[in-house]
Amino acid sequence: MTDQLRAAVVGAGYWGPNLARNFRNSPDWDLVAVCDLDAERARKVVGARSTVDVMTSVSDLLARDDVDAVAIATPARTHAPIALAALEAGKHVVVEKPIADRGAGARTMVARAAELDRVLMVDHTFCYTAPVLKMRELIAEGHLGEILFVDSVRINLGIVQPDVDVFWDLAPHDLSILDFILPGGLVPSGVAAQGADPLGTGQSCVGYLTLPLPGGAIAHVHVNWLSPTKIRQMVVGGSKRTLVWDDLSPQQRLTVYDRGVELGQPLPDKTTANISYRLGDAWAPALPEKEALGVMVAEFASAIRERRAPRTDGHAGLRVLDVLESASLSLSDGGRLTPVASSAPTLESVV
């Protein structure tokens, strides 16, 4: 293996060009090929004067001995077969979210990567943005105290997808962030999903997820394709402080509030709670400006070289997928709380 690792991108549609650009610009990587069933589409990604190979056969790509890793940016139903073929060919794999379209396929991917000693990573891109990395750091260092609640909103006037509902389209972003920042990862005791289809499209266009968390905390996720206003905001409330992430506020995307509610000893009548309110300062931590995908491909390279699990490994992808599958079951059962039965290890169990 040379100083640079050699990568190939499979899929030249919506996300593939972004992956190709970041692999090409990274000092850790040499982009050697882009593969797509449509050769002309792949050629547009690499450029007319590029030395990057254009290929239309995944099997031919995987037979090359000058490819160390494969990035998969194809429809979710193809993730498992392509990833498994790549792993069997000895390649490291990064796959865009969701890790697969079914839990069974994802579990097979995770197990086979471990057996073959290959890195399997999920491109949970938001986890590599500066605000989310800072949120993870502040929570891990105890600045917020015990997590009490998370309220996440991701709404916009979006494209109604033909093959997935709003939960599978938008919620993976929020769920992957929760898995990344919460101590122990995303391990809710269950999920309750309520969805609406006011346009009659045949699937939910507006949705709400409620997730009870360990220790009595709760998370709520609101996703919506029909909102004329765009909001991307997450509030993480702790026993000491509260974080607010506003992704659409470039001047102050992350704010920490030293304010909250404190419960003291019961009052003499023993029936009234002794509640006080803490009104402290608010501050905005400085955040570096780096493209998230650039940070992601650097983490992928580091994980391969250091022979370790990446920050968003296959288990992280599986935890998110388990919640999505349970959300679909809850939706079909009238929104009842549905258990999330996952065999994916939590962060604490793999550290």
Instruction: Report DSSP state, residue 103.
Output: H
Tell me which of 5-9, 177-181, 308-312, 347-351 is least confident.
347-351
Start and end residues for every CATH 3.40.50.720 domain found in the chain: 5-118
Classify each residue of 328-344 as buried b or exposed e, where b means 16 or more C-beta atoms within 10 Å of its C-beta. bebbeeeeebbebebeb
Cα distance between residue 127 and residue 19, in whole Å: 16
CATH 3.30.360.10 in the chain, residue ranges: 127-292+319-350
Residue 182 near residue 328 (C-beta atoms within 8 A) = no
pLDDT of residue 298: 98
The whole-number pLDDT of residue 263 equals: 67
Torsion, Cα 153 157 163 167, to 10 degrees, reads 10
Q: Cα separation of 173 and 176, whole Å?
A: 5
Kindly give the pairing relationship between strand 254-263 and strand 275-283. antiparallel
DSSP-assigned states of every residue in 164-209: S-HHHHHHHHHHHHHHHHSTT-S--SEEEEEEE-TT--SS-SEEEE
Model-level pTM?
0.91
Percent of the chain with pLDDT over 90: 84
Biggest alpha carbon distance in the chain? 81
Does pLDDT of 342 surpass 70? no
Note the pLDDT of residue 163: 82
Where is average pLDDT lowest: 64-78, 135-149, 187-201, 254-268? 254-268
Mean pLDDT computed over 169-179: 97
- DSSP character string of 48-91: TT--SEEES-HHHHHT-SS--EEEE-S-GGGHHHHHHHHHHTT-
Sheet-wide strand order for 29-35? 53-55, 29-35, 5-10, 69-72, 92-96, 120-123
Homologous superfamily of 127-292+319-350 in CATH? Dihydrodipicolinate Reductase; domain 2 (3.30.360.10)
How many angstroms separate the CA atoms of 170 and 38, rounded? Answer: 27
Asked if 166 contacts 153 with a C-beta cutoff of 8 angstroms, the reply is no
- CATH of 5-118 among 3.30.9.40, 3.30.420.40, 3.40.50.720, 3.50.50.60: 3.40.50.720
Of 14 and 163, more confident: 14
Residues in Cβ contact with 63 at an 8 Å cutoff, skipping those fewer than 6 apart: 89
Task: Give 49-78 pLDDT, tens digit per residue.
Answer: 789 999 999 999 999 999 999 999 999 999
Label residue 343 by pLDDT band (50, 70, 90).
low
CB proximity list for 234: less than 8 A, separation 6 or greater: 150, 151, 152, 153, 174, 177, 243, 244, 245
Strand partners, 257: 242, 282
Mean pLDDT (whole number) for 275-303: 91
pLDDT digits (tens, 9 = 90+) for 120-157: 999 999 999 999 999 999 999 999 999 999 999 999 99
Reported as a pLDDT band with limits 50, 70 and 90, residue 348 is very low
Mean of the per-residue pLDDT values for the chain? 92
> Taking residues 95-119, what's their average pLDDT?
96
